[in-house]
Structure 1
Amino acid sequence: MTQQQQENWAQAAAMLRRLGTNGDEVAARLTRELDAFEAVVARSQDRWHQPLSGREWTAAQEAEHVLLVNESSARIAALLASDRPLRPTPRVPGEEVAGKRQAPEGTRPGPDQPWAALAGRHAAVRGQLLTLAGQAGDDPDRTFFHPFMGDLTALDWLRMAAYHVGHHRRQLERAG
């Protein structure tokens, strides 16, 4: 791990903390971001299968990517919020190409799917994320490595989900 990576991770952690200092604030931020995301998804249906301007992915693929990241984040936050033992995991930094972060394996979307095929999973993970916000803590002894943000607590993973949803929502908005 380089000094630059450590500095980037410290900056990311500081940025995440601005998204809420406790579970109630993080839940409120997640609610706002998820509501706004769902609204832009509804407005994107007429161009759902077209590549977004300046992007390789379609709106359908952006939405699936957000879903995959949210599902993963919910699983990790649930583990960290539990009393289950944590096993060591590889600490593999994320990949950047031409200054652009690349989606890690497991978060890359497949072929376009209609929103109707994703909406049920989205609703389920939305509920999980919001429930977890009330249970998650910021225990520095219970962290899980994020490839672009370093070691994150359970509440940090939920903050990251809010940030990530907002990031992709803005991409969808710019495309419309």
Structure 2
Amino acid sequence: MYQREALKAYGQTPPEVQESFRLAVERFERVFREVPKDQPWRAEGWNALQIQGHLIKTHELGALLVKVLESEKPHHRLLHLVAAAQQRSKAPRTISKLLAPKIVQLEASETELASRWSRTNQKFLSQLDQAHLTGKRTFPHLYIGELTALEWAQFMPYHLDHHLPQLEALQVAP
């Protein structure tokens, strides 16, 4: 389960968050290289490619959120769509899992995912190069609540670490 307090461990400044993100990407990639890509990590769970696709979409959204929350401009229209999707899904939960909204799911070929993975992660890191992460403006996370630009930036490496055990489960799977 996501915990707002845990976000603080991922840095308080853009360079600290960048380093946390880089390290989380490295941890993810190290395990990702070693696991079967088309086998779900548990019954009704995602496979490694679906997890990677979800992370790509989340990182794309994270870069946009940081940019918008740091500006004085009105929220980007995509964010209105995200908020509407969140409203419709009403934070779906089961006892053992959270369900990601369709807007942060991505199905694509392994080659397309690999290319997009690199581009997306670089874009997020570049966005942090330009960020101050000091504003009070917020945008809601479906499960955690209202987050500032700093908290959204912290959420990206936190989220990678959240999905890492799913990949690790594939390492020991028969």
Normalised to the residue count of structure 1, the TM-score between the two structures is 0.81
* Cα deviation 1:87-138 (Å, max 9, x = unaligned): 775573521022421111212343x631x21122111111121122231413
Of residues 48, 70, 79 in structure 2, which corresponds to 1:59?
48
For 1:3, the equivalent position in structure 2 comes to: none
Q: Percent identity?
A: 26
Of residues 114, 119, 122 in structure 2, which corresponds to 1:124?
119
Residue type of the partner of 2:64? Answer: R
Rounded Cα–Cα distance in structure 1 between residues aligned with 2:75 and 2:112? 33
For 2:19, the equivalent position in structure 1 comes to: 28
Moved over 6 A (4+): none
Of residues 59, 83, 91 in structure 2, which corresponds to 1:70?
59
For 2:100, the equivalent position in structure 1 comes to: 103
| Matched position secondary structure for 1:65 | helix
Rounded Cα–Cα distance in structure 2 between residues aligned with 1:159 and 1:55? 28
For 1:40, the equivalent position in structure 2 comes to: 31
Alignment CA distance shift 1:136-1:128 (3 Å) = farther
Rounded Cα–Cα distance in structure 2 between residues aligned with 1:166 and 1:14? 15
Is the CA contact 1:20–1:159 (under 8 Å) kept in the aligned structure 2? yes
- Say which is worse superposed, 119-128 or 28-37, in terms of deviation: 119-128
Rounded Cα–Cα distance in structure 1 between residues aligned with 2:134 and 2:161? 22
* Cα deviation 1:5-63 (Å, max 9, x = unaligned): xxx9xx8332212211111111110000011112222112xx11112134521111111
1:17 counterpart = 2:5: no
Residue type of the partner of 1:105? Answer: K
- How far 1:82 moved relative to its partner? 2.4
| Matched position secondary structure for 1:167 | helix
Q: What root-mean-square deviation, in Å, do the aligned CA atoms of Structure 1 and Structure 2 show?
A: 2.2
Residue type of the partner of 1:19? Answer: Y
Residue type of the partner of 2:148? Answer: T
Residue type of the partner of 2:58? Answer: V
- Structure 1 segments unaligned to the other structure (5+ residues): 1-7
For 2:134, the equivalent position in structure 1 comes to: 138
1:113 counterpart = 2:109: yes
- Matched positions, count: 162
For 1:166, the equivalent position in structure 2 comes to: 161
